[in-house]
Structure 1
């Protein structure tokens, strides 16, 4: 995730980060500029359209549909940000529940070997979940000195969660914790799978294809028809105007595409790997 100071306006304006949409759209902006230049030249030098031409009235269409496209892009951006923010809240709850489970176990358990087991396996869940959501392969070498057999063809977070439940049940059967204590830690154990399921819902449910495709086509047609009418009032100044309008509209769509899946490896995605590392650090301090 990009670290920045939201109060540094000057830096925002004149700095182009590698994730900036300007870098991604620059080739297309050049093509849009060349296209607009061609339309301007044809209308002004070749066709020599008069002020009475009906082509001059095309901006009326842009005024009518401009409000519609602004609503669509606003909804698109808000929906994508809601997914990003929900992902952040889910990982925040994973942090809190991991801490709560470690705190409760640190008081309940007297055997250092049992504490050591949970000290290692609780952070493993966050690490495995991070890689599971990022579609990365993990190996047993990730879990140093932890006797945890993993079948990588199955659901990996569920295997870790099962290990947590199994250990908690073994502690109850052996009399190291009471039934009431088992009930006390059950909510934290259950929350791990709840967080995983909610994250998978975000990961595996993209914006409907027809909706996303329609917005892209709408933006393309809207921008492609801009030069025809504005040449009469702006002349060759239509070129930078059309490029700027395309940059604004396409940037909103690109931003929405990037943040709608917050568990990837893009610059603006959630720092799940860092959060998992922080969970490991906090659990080791507690246990």
Structure 2
């Protein structure tokens, strides 16, 4: 609206006020526009790199989750002649705890940081709580889980303790324990890489100065166009201003992929994919699988 009113006001002044004449050379705005395009391109490239890195990290989460379940269900075995009921219970508990870890990490990453100014009504999910992890943890485990500063890391600690117990009971050999521990380290790495993106935003000066430069450029546009285009300077200035404003907004909304916005990495859909795959690997009935996630406004969340 500002740029529509600005363009209209400049055209009216140019047409009806003889003492005011806008005579800004066109090469001025051309040079500024070129510099601004380079600046916005640089910002948007880095913003997309952050989004794509987040998607690759969670692609690894899907792959390692499947590998973890396969390892837990095939490498943890009973001693000869021992009832395997306890082992099956351990396997199920560790796989379920991993599903809780995936949901917990999603919620943990989507918690708001102080620098983020996104209004609450723009959130995609109605709430961002650890409730989705509750069905996969015991009552006491869940009580401890929600009280921690870093709930996902707490679950990885419990997984390590269960592996150590399985080793003490003879259900794991040295080599198998090491392989399972390596997979847990992979989950630590995934969480750490995600936290790095979450906690290290694109430098704020890129956001501030891109807005300043766009505002200057779009304010000057009608002053340059009005001498040659007259009333046509209004729609042309507004259209060009919209393009630069849109480019700036795209970069700003893409740079933080864990803020629970429409443009985010689809953590909810990936979490449900992991849960479905892992339940299938446990040979559970399809009736227990989560419902497939429907895109919201054409966007996978």
Out of 44, 47, 64, which is 2:15 matched to?
44
* Cα distance in 2, alignment partners of residues 139 and 213 from structure 1: 37
* Count of residue pairs brought into register by the alignment: 254
Report the alpha carbon displacement of residue 208 of structure 1 after superposing the two structures with TM. 1.3
Report the alpha carbon displacement of residue 153 of structure 1 after superposing the two structures with TM. 4.2
Q: 1:140 to 1:90 in 2, by over 3 A?
A: closer
Whether the aligned pair in 2 keeps the contact of 1:219 and 1:249 (CA below 8 Å) is yes
Name segments (4+ residues, structure 1) moved above 4 Å: none
User: 2:138 aligned with 1:146, yes or no?
Assistant: yes
User: 2:262 aligned with 1:284, yes or no?
Assistant: no
Q: Which residue of 2 aligns with 1:16?
A: none
* Cα distance in 2, alignment partners of residues 126 and 99 from structure 1: 12
* Cα distance in 1, alignment partners of residues 259 and 35 from structure 2: 31
Report the alpha carbon displacement of residue 90 of structure 1 after superposing the two structures with TM. 0.5
Out of 162, 168, 181, which is 2:163 matched to?
168
SS of the equivalent of 2:130 reads coil
Report the alpha carbon displacement of residue 151 of structure 1 after superposing the two structures with TM. 4.4
Gaps of 5+ in 2: 78-86, 112-127, 283-301
SS of the equivalent of 2:65 reads helix
> TM-score, structure 1 length as denominator?
0.84
Report the alpha carbon displacement of residue 139 of structure 1 after superposing the two structures with TM. 4.7
SS of the equivalent of 1:56 reads coil
Whether the aligned pair in 2 keeps the contact of 1:120 and 1:146 (CA below 8 Å) is no
Q: Which residue of 2 aligns with 1:243?
A: 238
User: 2:1 aligned with 1:34, yes or no?
Assistant: no
Report the aligned-residue RMSD.
1.7
Report the alpha carbon displacement of residue 187 of structure 1 after superposing the two structures with TM. 1.9
Q: 1:140 to 1:248 in 2, by over 3 A?
A: closer
Report the alpha carbon displacement of residue 201 of structure 1 after superposing the two structures with TM. 0.9
Q: 1:140 to 1:64 in 2, by over 3 A?
A: closer
Whether the aligned pair in 1 keeps the contact of 2:64 and 2:183 (CA below 8 Å) is yes
User: 2:42 aligned with 1:64, yes or no?
Assistant: no
Bigger relative contact order, structure 1 or 2 (CA pairs below 8 A, ≥6 apart): 1
What does 1:245-284 align with in structure 2 at a 5 Å threshold? 245-284=240-279
